[in-house]
């Protein structure tokens, strides 16, 4: 599977599959080519190659990281990540069913977040050699999205300090506003706002609720992805009509062009599995 699309004003490539033998050209070469033609690109690549002698059961995690202006970050534990314009991918961990004796260069076992199950795909967490502002540790992953606090936080936060609630407690902050979380329990409200990674959006992001529980954030999508979940598209269409979109042609034109200046935030109900969404625009 190879997918190229624009999301939130930037091009994204998703490549995946499960072939019986090594693909040609090599998958790593494809990502190195992307790094060469797009010097400011970054991302993660998970590779399982059961034809590599001695590593048949291993999963390699490769990182291509970006040196943002004013920040020295990398995809390696030695702070020797790719400089701007460098094309190399760096192996940040190798783990497998029989590879417990190998120490990964970075912690690969990220905490699980019930209401944001794939923060790597959404871009809220990414590989980086950066010290957490809360625990002062460097575990190879850093949070990049919203955090609301009146305190001065020097640096960014690691996923573990989000998951255990220590970051929100230490800095008296929240990762998501409680807007939209009507009808959920105090426990769920606390879990979403203080122990779940937020996400990037043009407007202030907010959570959706279904079956009296917070829904799980899937990601930012365009019309094509949204149309794969008709119930979410219908729900969004109905919500927009309620919000004042009475001209059907304008409404359908807006929906059909999601992914180009505006997008949909897709969620999935943790109880019944239904998909739902809201629109976000600059």
CA–CA gap between residue 267 and residue 197 (Å, rounded) = 14
Note the pLDDT tens digit of each residue in 16-63.
666 656 555 566 667 766 766 675 566 767 676 666 665 656 666 666
pLDDT at position 79, please? 33
Q: Which run of H or of E encompasses 129?
A: none
Report which DSSP code applies to 83. Answer: P
251 contacts 245 by C-beta, under 8 angstroms: yes
- Say if pTM beats, i.e. exceeds, 0.85: no
What six digits make up the tokens of 214? Answer: 């917070």
CA–CA gap between residue 87 and residue 38 (Å, rounded) = 9
Q: What is the mean pLDDT of residues 167-179?
A: 95
Delimit the domains of the chain by residue range. Answer: 2-96, 110-206, 208-282
pLDDT at position 103, please? 35
């Amino acid at each position: 599977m190879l997918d190229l699309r624009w999301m939130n004003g930037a091009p994204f490539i998703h490549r995946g599959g499960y072939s019986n033998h090594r693909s040609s050209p090599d998958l790593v070469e494809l990502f190195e080519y992307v790094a060469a033609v797009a010097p400011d690109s970054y991302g993660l690549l998970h590779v399982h190659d059961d034809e590599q002698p001695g590593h048949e059961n291993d999963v390699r995690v490769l990182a291509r990281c970006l040196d943002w202006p004013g920040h020295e970050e990398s995809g390696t534990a030695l702070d020797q990540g790719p400089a701007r314009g460098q094309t190399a991918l760096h192996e940040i961990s190798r783990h497998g069913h029989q590879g417990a004796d190998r120490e990964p260069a970075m912690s690969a076992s990220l905490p699980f977040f019930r209401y944001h199950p794939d923060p790597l795909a959404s871009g809220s967490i990414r590989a980086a050699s950066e010290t957490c502002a809360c625990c002062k540790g460097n575990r190879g992953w850093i949070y990049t999205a919203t955090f609301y606090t009146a305190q001065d936080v020097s640096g960014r936060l690691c996923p573990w300090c989000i998951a255990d609630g220590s970051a929100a407690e230490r800095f008296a902050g929240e990762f998501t506003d409680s807007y939209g979380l009507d009808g959920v329990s105090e426990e769920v409200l606390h879990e979403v706002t203080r122990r779940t990674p937020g996400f990037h959006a043009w407007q202030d992001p907010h959570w959706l609720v279904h079956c009296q529980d917070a829904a799980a954030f899937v990601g930012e999508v365009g019309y094509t992805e949204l149309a794969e979940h008709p119930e979410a598209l219908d729900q969004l269409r109905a919500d927009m009509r309620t919000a004042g979109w009475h001209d059907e042609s304008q409404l359908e034109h807006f929906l059909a062009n999601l992914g180009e200046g505006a997008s949909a935030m897709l969620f999935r109900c943790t109880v019944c599995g239904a998909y739902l969404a809201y629109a976000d625009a600059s």
